[in-house]
Amino acid sequence: MATKEPGNSQGLSPTALKAKRERDLAMAKTDRRTAMRSQNQSIGQNSKRDIHHVNGVAGTTIFQTISQNRDSSNERNA
């Protein structure tokens, strides 16, 4: 197992790290993620709330406080 270092916090092997980065980039470039990212930027994020897309659909969002978002005792409110 590779050691944890900056840029490799999960301690992945170099081969696994390269594959993960490729998968993550491919997911970030999908039409769905691009639409949600665009919507978040147009709404405007701030340090007191998080924006969540209801059921993972662009166009339907809710706002949660940071404390609600970090609460691990229950699922998101949507």
Q: What pLDDT, on a 0 to 100 scale, did the predictor assign at position 75?
A: 56
Q: Is residue 4 part of a domain?
A: no
pTM of the model: 0.55
Q: In this structure, are residues 49 and 25 in contact, taking their beta carbons and an 8 Å threshold?
A: no
Q: Is residue 76 part of a domain?
A: no
Annotate 21-50 with DSSP letters as a single string: HHHHHHHHTSHHHHHHHHHHHHH--BTTEE
**What residue numbers bound the domain in which 29 lies?**
14-70
Element (H, E) at 61: strand 61-65
Residue range 4-26: mean pLDDT, rounded: 90
How many structural domains compose the chain?
A: 1
* β-bridge partners, 3: none
Q: Is residue 6 part of a domain?
A: no
Q: Is residue 55 part of a domain?
A: yes
Residue range 15-30: mean pLDDT, rounded: 94
Per DSSP, 74 falls in state S
Q: Is residue 78 part of a domain?
A: no
Q: How does pLDDT run across 35-64, given as a tens digit for each residue?
A: 988 887 888 777 777 777 777 777 788 888
